[in-house]
Structure 1
């Protein structure tokens, strides 16, 4: 039987992508998607919630209702995991990331909020809800700074790199 991508049947290579190239690929993925699954743990156990996100570098951010289950879980344990992926047409197109970090909740008067808020496209959501575009939301802004990222892209195998690459924040 003919193979569309014969390199997928070869043994999996183990090459490590140079950090600069890995970061470029991760940022491309973050920029080309807008939905992720946020995994939290709270008193009721694990919770996986789809959220629309924006990013600033390796920090992902979203707003949430203060009394939502995800916000209760973040208050109980701010360690989170985020999964995101590009549309899949087959193994060759497999591309995604697992992001691990600690969530910070920034209220409307938090001085750190302004630095992230400029990258947050709140106007889109306000337009969808028929809200005024002259008044930014007061909802808490949740920021997850990535501590580590497991990036997966099977296309990397073509160039001798492992399809799963690991990124960690540097001090």
Structure 2
């Protein structure tokens, strides 16, 4: 049930606040539009961006995803703790992520041709732990915060 709830949250939202570490050790939080494939989230970013430079130096990352809030009882979201890696467009591993990336809508918004796929690199975040919060879980006798790990521990 927890995995289904997390997958539902990831697939029904598209903005995460990505936290990376600056060179001086201070935090940098950046909103990104993401897509998901299983428990991984991914987004495009220029290699020269601050977040990309931070991740090349230190691939540890945290991302926060929050569903629209109606009231305290409807509070639902996830904190993803994991490792980021950047895949260039020519990397064969990138193909499976590009298949899940709805780049056509972005191109349409920007007036770009739909027969020219993007060449941007993808940053993929693989979670080591997800802290899921859903206050509706109280209604079924469960704690509103649950921890997911890929190994089930």
TM-score (norm 2): 0.95
- Does residue 144 of the first structure (1) align with residue 121 of the second (2)? no
Alpha-carbon contact 1:106-1:141 (below 8 Å) kept = yes
User: Partner of 2:112 in structure 1?
Assistant: 131
Q: Which has the larger radius of gyration?
A: 1
Q: Which of the numbers 3, 11, 16 marks the counterpart of 1:36?
A: 16
Q: Return the offset for 1:90.
A: 1.3
Q: CA separation in 1, counterparts of 2:8 and 2:92?
A: 29
Q: Which of the numbers 29, 53, 56 marks the counterpart of 2:34?
A: 53
Q: In the comparison of the two structures, how many residue pairs are matched? A: 151
In structure 2, stretches of 5+ residues that fail to align are: none
- Does residue 68 of the first structure (1) align with residue 53 of the second (2)? no
Alpha-carbon contact 1:103-1:143 (below 8 Å) kept = yes
Moved over 2 A (4+): none
User: Partner of 1:97 in structure 2?
Assistant: 78
In structure 1, stretches of 5+ residues that fail to align are: 1-20
Q: CA separation in 1, counterparts of 2:131 and 2:9?
A: 12
RMSD: 1.1
Q: Return the offset for 1:81.
A: 0.3
TM-score (norm 1): 0.86
